[in-house]
Structure 1
Amino acid sequence: MMSTISQWLPYLAQGALVTVKITLLSGVVAMLLALISGLGRLSALKPIRWLAGGYIELFRAASLLVLLFWVYFALPIAGLDLSKTWSAVLAIGLNIGAYGGEIVRSAIQAIPKGQYEASVALNLSPLARMRSVILPQAIARMLPPMGNLWIEMLKSTSLVYFITMADLTYEAMILRNNYYTDTPLIFGLLLLIYYVMASCIAVPVKWLERKLTAWR
């Protein structure tokens, strides 16, 4: 059994690298969209609030699998032909970013009004208030749900299997087709690898949360 598993590991490791790559790239897109849309929901300008709210409501309601199919199969017909990697990154980033936008908005709104009043009394500009007073405190509040969102994003990458990207799930399915009687073992390894990768997100987030909580 161990010799068989050792034969599988290079394929699973190759797929895991693709999964990590998609997670990191999607995370960058998602966090940028979350920050922009979250701040947009709090804007004093109605058009910006409506635009940010429309993005959040639309992409939170959309099925990620359908969105992935739309980006990969429908956009080329409209003249925008993306690679499998960037189709996955765009679809996952848009979906996760919408959830992140609500986390950013709620974290900022949870900051006590006294903090705003104190920063106004210090004659700080709106940009300086947000950068130096509000956001540092809001980050400590949004860190736990953002950590959960990153883990959810990691698990969501398994959907790229449906556009035949050679991610971790795809490699496991190829092995399962070649070693059908070992299906329980192959999927058990798949679950274990996803658990390890999720722990690589959860453990640093918990450590950073403790540090920021102590600082706050």
Structure 2
Amino acid sequence: MGDLNELLPLLLKGAGLTIGIAACAIVLAIALAGIATLLRAAPWRPVRWIANAYVEVFRGTSLLVQLFWFFFVLPLPPLHIELTPFTVAVVGLGLHYGAYGSEILRGALHSVPGGQYEAALALNMSARTRLLRVVLPQAMINALPPGMNLMIELIKGTSLVSLITLSDLTFRARQLDEATFKTAEIFALTLIIYFLIAQVLVLLMRRVERRVSHGILQGGAR
């Protein structure tokens, strides 16, 4: 147990769970960010109010308290909603970072020059065509860099799920520290693993960013 060759596989096992939680939460956060952004622009005031309330509540409260609320409070009367720790982690992270993602998307949409809307209207494009062919492609370029930063924050936020009994990377590191007292070695490895996971995500997102930019440039050339 004291050998680092034995410590690393146990940490990697926790890293696998961390990656699984992060991947599911990122997908959920992207979906929620898109839905919330659309609802916040809806013509009906009650719908806008609900979407804004979601964004403000989850941006304005602690992620840890949100996870505890889903894990400890939902099962209590009168709700009686019991979720697995994995589900709580994915839903909690997805809701929290989806609220921040909605703000990023809203800002990206507002960053598209007004002349683009006017040109699309002059060409008699429908609202759907304007959104899909003119507005969203340009907004995506502006949204990807802050979106990438938010995904990295989400990965780091997964460390909190160790407090709801999930054996993620942080949980494994704490277990090994208590068992071996090799604090420096264990947490150095933990930092390196988190860093490598984040760098893989950065590389993937930069590739997506290049493809999106290249596609828009080709479209503009035509």
TM-based fold match above 0.5 = yes
Give ranges in structure 1 of 5+ residues lacking alignment.
none
The 3-state SS of whatever aligns with 1:20 is helix
Q: Percent identity?
A: 43
**Structure 2 residue aligned with 1:117:** 118
1:25-61, Cα deviation, whole Å (9 max, x unpaired):
1111111111111222222332222121111111001
Equivalence map 1:178-193=2 (5 Å): 178-180=179-181, 182-193=182-193
**Structure 1 residue aligned with 2:96:** 95
1:119-140, Cα deviation, whole Å (9 max, x unpaired):
2222222122112211111111
**Structure 2 residue aligned with 1:204:** 204
**Structure 2 residue aligned with 1:164:** 165
Range moving further from structure 2, 121-130 or 67-76: 121-130
Matches of 2:17 and 2:98, distance apart in 1: 21
**Structure 2 residue aligned with 1:57:** 56
**Structure 2 residue aligned with 1:138:** 139
Matches of 2:213 and 2:131, distance apart in 1: 19
Q: CA deviation at 1:10?
A: 1.5
**Structure 2 residue aligned with 1:8:** 7
Matches of 1:174 and 1:120, distance apart in 2: 61
Range moving further from structure 2, 121-130 or 81-90: 121-130
**Residue identity matched to 2:10:** Y
Q: CA deviation at 1:211?
A: 4.2
Q: CA deviation at 1:105?
A: 0.4
The 3-state SS of whatever aligns with 2:112 is coil
**Residue identity matched to 1:153:** L
CA contact (8 A) 1:59 1:98 kept: yes
Q: CA deviation at 1:114?
A: 1.3
CA contact (8 A) 1:39 1:104 kept: no
CA contact (8 A) 1:175 1:186 kept: yes
Q: Does 1:44 align with 2:43?
A: yes
**Structure 2 residue aligned with 1:147:** 148
Deviating 4+ runs (over 3 angstroms): 210-216
**Structure 1 residue aligned with 2:17:** 18
Range moving further from structure 2, 199-208 or 17-26: 199-208
The 3-state SS of whatever aligns with 1:76 is coil
Q: TM-score, normalised by structure 2?
A: 0.91
The 3-state SS of whatever aligns with 2:74 is helix
Matches of 1:26 and 1:97, distance apart in 2: 9
How many residues are matched?
214
The 3-state SS of whatever aligns with 2:3 is helix
The 3-state SS of whatever aligns with 1:124 is coil
The 3-state SS of whatever aligns with 1:49 is helix
Matches of 2:116 and 2:42, distance apart in 1: 18
CA contact (8 A) 1:38 1:103 kept: no
Q: CA deviation at 1:167?
A: 0.3
Matches of 2:107 and 2:41, distance apart in 1: 10
